Amino acid sequence: MDTNIRAFVDGLDVSKRIAAGDMMFAGQNDAHYFSVGRSALRAILAGLAAREEYANCAEPVVSVLDYGCGYGRVCRFLRAAFPGSDIFVGDVNVEAVEFCVDHFGCTAITGMPPAEGFDLIWVGSVFTHMVESAARDLLYTLVDALRPNGLLVFTTHGRFSYATHYCNPALERYVRGRIVNDRMNAEYLTTGYGYAAHFGQDELRTLVNPGVSIIDPHWVQRCLFPSTGILQVMFQERGWDYHQDVYGFVRSELTQEP
């Protein structure tokens, strides 16, 4: 499948039902909305293909989690690609979760995902809205939620976002206010993690889209590389919708023999 991922994804019969409250669709057209879902699935399948290079990692995907599912922009593609799998969804938007349960045959989870519960976890544009401490805690929780040889695929704002944001400060692409923008960029350059709250919102909030982050790949590696129980199998700049960076990590021992 790895050499024909695009053809496979393009050929899927995917639900065209869009919820009235889906903010990811607001002001868009059908073509772009569904292209984002296809882009996510291509990244996920690329991660699964990369996983097969490692021992005992060519196992079937039985249990899938879409964490931060929204109204199913990606979930509908997961359902089409893995029709026999159990797909679980979680989001701070309860109505969005209910939509995915009702229309895509998913199961809702509440709170944090359980340990060793999933063969595949997709997290699209969740870390992009979190303060650093919350992002670090969630990253560890998601790794712990993988079954042995399970794959975690997640996205972040990265170098492209920094370039378009910092080099064009008048655009105020992510947050309003030049001083706030400059501070976020300074944090990104010094620590690898820049964050700013949206205009008029409290930076201490960690849910319901409180702000925007920009993350350097080295920050992710500093979090996960101390553990030899996880392997990085993929990193693709601008891999999701030609915008967000995509990471793929497998829960497998670094020292395991092939």
Nearest residue to 234 (alpha-carbon basis) of 38, 7, 77, 52: 52
Instruction: Look at residue 255 and tell me if it is in a domain.
Output: no
Number of domains in the chain: 1
Instruction: Look at residue 258 and tell me if it is in a domain.
Output: no
What would the pLDDT profile of 145-176 be if each residue is shown by its tens digit? 999 999 999 999 999 988 887 666 566 666 66
Segment 8-32 mean pLDDT: 88
Instruction: Look at residue 129 and tell me if it is in a domain.
Output: yes
pTM: 0.92
**Which CATH number characterizes residue 139's domain?**
3.40.50.150
Q: Which two tokens stand for residue 179?
A: 């001083």
User: Around 234, how many Cα atoms within 13 Å sit in the side-chain half-sphere?
Assistant: 27
Contacts of 60 (CB under 8 A, 6+ apart): 119
Instruction: Look at residue 257 and tell me if it is in a domain.
Output: no
Instruction: Look at residue 105 and tell me if it is in a domain.
Output: yes
Q: 206 pLDDT exceeds 50?
A: no
- To the nearest 10 degrees (0 to 180), the angle between helices 178-191 and 159-166 is 150
Q: Which domain holds residue 111?
A: 2-12+23-250
| Percent of residues, the chain, with pLDDT higher than 70 | 88
By the 10 Å C-beta count (0-12 exposed, 13-18 middle, 19+ buried), 117 is classed as: middle
pLDDT at 69: 97
Q: 201 pLDDT exceeds 60?
A: no
Q: 245 pLDDT exceeds 50?
A: yes
